[in-house]
Amino acid sequence: MSATVIYQELGYGITCIDTQLHRRGLACCYLIEHNGAVGFIDTGTNNSVPILLEVLKKKHLAKEQVVYLMPTHVHLDHAGGIGSLIKHFPKATVLIHPRGARHIINPENLERGSVAVYGEEAFSKVFGNLFPIDESRVRKMKDGEVLDFNGRILEFLHAPGHAFHHYCIWDVTSRGIFSGDTLGASYPELNNGRARFIFPPSTPVQFDPELWPQTIDRLMEYQADRIFVTHFGMYKNIEPLMLMLKRSIRDYSETALELGALIRSSDANSESLTSSIQQSIEQASINYLLDQQCGLDAIAIKELIASDMNLNAQGLVHWLSSQN
Ligand SMILES: [Zn+2]
């Protein structure tokens, strides 16, 4: 039986594929095709593998044409399935941030860390086992390194803020940036109001509110026409979105500092700190979206963003503890 696939051609040889994590429209990856060569930017989880293979089939592309797998960073919604995916592509090399390489060559630590974030049961259901990739198939990409992708220029840019092992890819052909989680997350359903909405995934454990805005500024210098975000899809006219993103990074860290001080003085534990931070950033987003008349009520908005806001709060608590 073949997998049900949802994908959209975006032009410039780029296809957005829904990796179907948790629900439709939450996480995607990108297939990029140029003069017969194929690459994937982000690869989803183990459960996404049959989806990616089916999309190749539907587009009449052979597995042998896949030459590059390019996880923007090693978080599992982006790269959890890469060890099983690469077994299908005899000619593929993984291009990765130097700080992410050891985690895909030997994913034990990554698995342990992820179990700590998601819990054992959810981890095995959503992500399954992580498979190691032979070192000979892994190439570490330096900051600013340019790849000639069969005649198409891709530039790899180290992008700390969401994670230290994160890179973004500047694609000259589309004048677009494949930004993983660095240029924020947003969902199409939340962008029908007067102004659009984007938020910083401050996921554990490397949120850095100092470096992140600097990374955004550096990427903005490319004057991209579009960004391709993993959560979810392509966005144009990015300047107002980037302003909002930078503002939210500052708001997040200020909220965490304020609530952290409050809770420390009241002797409460880190669990109640996580939930009060979540409540605060979630409510701020809901208020904003209602204000912009996004077309959804508070309950529907909450349903779309609650799991992100929980991870965000966990990341902020982790960041706070590293500040003390
Ligand atoms: Zn992500």
Residues 108-120 have a mean pLDDT of 87
Residue 1 has pLDDT above 60, yes or no: no
Query: Strand ranges (DSSP E) for the chain?
Result: 7-11, 14-18, 28-34, 37-41, 66-70, 93-96, 138-140, 146-149, 152-158, 167-171, 176-180, 226-229, 233-236
pLDDT at residue 267, as a whole number: 67
Looking up tokens 């060569």 gives: 37
Ligand 1 center to 266 CA (angstroms):
34
Domain map (residue ranges) of the chain: 7-173, 243-323
Ligand 1 center to 41 CA (angstroms):
13
Ligand 1 center to 229 CA (angstroms):
9
Ligand 1 center to 230 CA (angstroms):
6
Confidence of residue 271 (pLDDT cuts 50, 70, 90): confident
Ligand 1 center to 77 CA (angstroms):
5
Residues 18, 23, 27: CA angle, nearest 5 degrees:
40
pLDDT at residue 41, as a whole number: 98
7-173: what CATH class?
alpha beta
pLDDT at residue 129, as a whole number: 86
Ligand 1 center to 74 CA (angstroms):
9
Task: Report how far residue 86's alpha carbon sits from residue 100's, in angstroms, rounded to the nearest whole number.
Answer: 16
Ligand 1 center to 139 CA (angstroms):
22
